Chain A
Amino acid sequence: MTNETIMNIPRVTPKNMTEQEFFYGHKACAGCGGSVAVRLALKVLGERTYSALPAGCMAAVGFIFPQMAFKNNSIITTFPGVASMASGIAAGAKALGQTDFKTVCFAGDGGTADIGLQALSGMIDRDDDVLYICYDNEAYMNTGIQKSGLTPYGTHTTTTPAGKNLPGSKTHKKNVFEIIAAHDIKYAATASIGYPQDFINKVNKAKHIKGATFIHVYASCPTGWGTPTNTSIEIAREAVDCGLIFLAEYENGDFKLNKNPKEFASVKEYLTKQGRFKHMTDEDIEQVIGFRDMKWERMRRNWNHK
């Protein structure tokens, strides 16, 4: 698809989006950010969508016999195999002569950055017609908050307990967006549920591209993060405003920063209001800020931005 045709895609907004709900009556915790991502994506993609979900919260809360919170055709897959399952679904539907469908994966950060990475790499390599959405709540939440490759520095999790010997997680977030882009994928993007219209636009764009596409969406988790249930959107917005999460796209071989703030909001304020970072010392926070600045320096130098 050329850029011109992409620009002609009708915009989806809350005003014109379908009133149908495809992820409904699920058992996610109150205020779950992952459910915002899944729900909005399905409203953009529509009824003729096959979704595949590996083990993780969105699978666990959607399929509790006899409850089927997905109103579109959906399946739980093995933990490492969501991308290969989706590839198979897309191939199967095509073999049946179907043409009016989309296949989507909804996988967590653990299911994407760690255990599912190999299958995802193969899916992109073959350019299978699948949109892969990673909802990133920065830990293995469904099994009780363990560190993943996308858990940021300083996070208290059950496998990186903060205390005298550990600052919490000692590693920074894996560079998943760039790892995916390095495949020369047709379209990849990062997003945050704190900027829902931007996320909707990116899903809509990916919907209209034939072939493999990828969206990494930051999705808060009040249960695992120790935040009030009502601030799930706000905290995901603040993560972007303080520069720890960036909004970007990769298309036709080019990286583009969608948001390039002149000044960042306070990192300290963002961190200390969350239970998972409460223990962090000023030195720990300086580490986080230093890593952020290094990353932004590199992005601003190498990527397109306004």
Chain B
Amino acid sequence: MERPIKRDFKRPTHINDYPVGPQYEAGFLAETNASWRTFRPVIDLDKCINCLICYMVCPDGTIMKREGKVAVDYDYCKGCGVCAHECPKDAIAMIKEEL
């Protein structure tokens, strides 16, 4: 698995079920970050030259390399806009999320 994905987590019901420290299985994610986003990056693949700058600078690693084209993991993208700001081809638009 390249990227961790959200998995089911059963909340402990008794204090004894909690670990002593914040220890857990590496890469375990109990929720997504999609709700943080107010703007969503949308990539225009016709303009994209696959330079992978957006891929390199995304703080969340949510730009994915795919068969010569980039794509976004909208489960974990926070909508910071770094990718759009750094894209040399203006191929990424930040579109307001509709509720």
| Interface residues in chain A, defined as those with a beta carbon under 8 Å from any beta carbon in chain B | 14-15, 19-21, 23-28, 30-33, 35-36, 39-40, 63-74, 76, 193, 196-197, 200, 222, 228-234
Contact flag A196-B57 (CB < 8 Å), given A14-B52, A68-B28: yes
Smallest CB gap from B55: residue in A: A14
Q: Using Cβ atoms and an 8 Å threshold, which residues of chain A touch B55?
A: 14
**How far apart are the CA atoms of A32 and B33 in the complex, in Å?**
14
A-B contacts, 9 of them at CB < 8 A, read A14-B56, A20-B2, A25-B29, A28-B59, A67-B29, A67-B30, A230-B81, A230-B94, A232-B82
- Contact, CB under 8 Å: A63 / B22: yes
Smallest CB gap from A71: residue in B: B27
Q: Is B44 close to A, CB under 8 A?
A: no
Q: Using Cβ atoms and an 8 Å threshold, which residues of chain A touch B3?
A: 20-21, 24
- Contact, CB under 8 Å: A14 / B53: yes
Which of B4, B6, B52 meets A15, CB within 8 Å? B52
Q: Is B64 close to A, CB under 8 A?
A: yes
Scan B21-39; emit 1 where CB is below 8 A from any A CB, else 0.
Answer: 1101111111111001000
- Contact, CB under 8 Å: B85 / A231: yes
- Contact, CB under 8 Å: A35 / B82: no
- Contact, CB under 8 Å: A39 / B61: yes
| Interface residues in chain B, defined as those with a beta carbon under 8 Å from any beta carbon in chain A | 2-4, 6, 9, 18-19, 21-22, 24-33, 36, 52-53, 55-61, 64-65, 76, 78-82, 84-86, 94
B72 CB to closest chain A CB, in angstroms?
Answer: 13
Contact flag A35-B24 (CB < 8 Å), given A15-B52, A24-B76, A25-B32: no
Q: A-B pairs with the 8 shortest C-beta distances?
A: A230-B81, A71-B27, A31-B80, A14-B52, A30-B80, A30-B78, A21-B61, A25-B29
Which of A14, A67, A193 meets B28, CB within 8 Å? A67
- Contact, CB under 8 Å: B22 / A234: no
**How far apart are the CA atoms of A71 and B34 in the complex, in Å?**
20
Q: Using Cβ atoms and an 8 Å threshold, which residues of chain A touch B29?
A: 24-25, 67-69
Query: In this complex, which of A20, A67, A228 has the most chain B Cβ atoms within 10 angstroms of its Cβ?
Result: A67
Q: Using Cβ atoms and an 8 Å threshold, which residues of chain A touch B82?
A: 31, 229-233
- Contact, CB under 8 Å: A24 / B84: no
B35 CB to closest chain A CB, in angstroms?
Answer: 12
- Contact, CB under 8 Å: B79 / A30: yes
**How far apart are the CA atoms of A228 and B56 in the complex, in Å?**
19
Q: Using Cβ atoms and an 8 Å threshold, which residues of chain B touch A25?
A: 4, 6, 29, 32-33, 76
- Contact, CB under 8 Å: B61 / A66: no
Contact flag A70-B81 (CB < 8 Å), given A25-B4, A232-B59: no
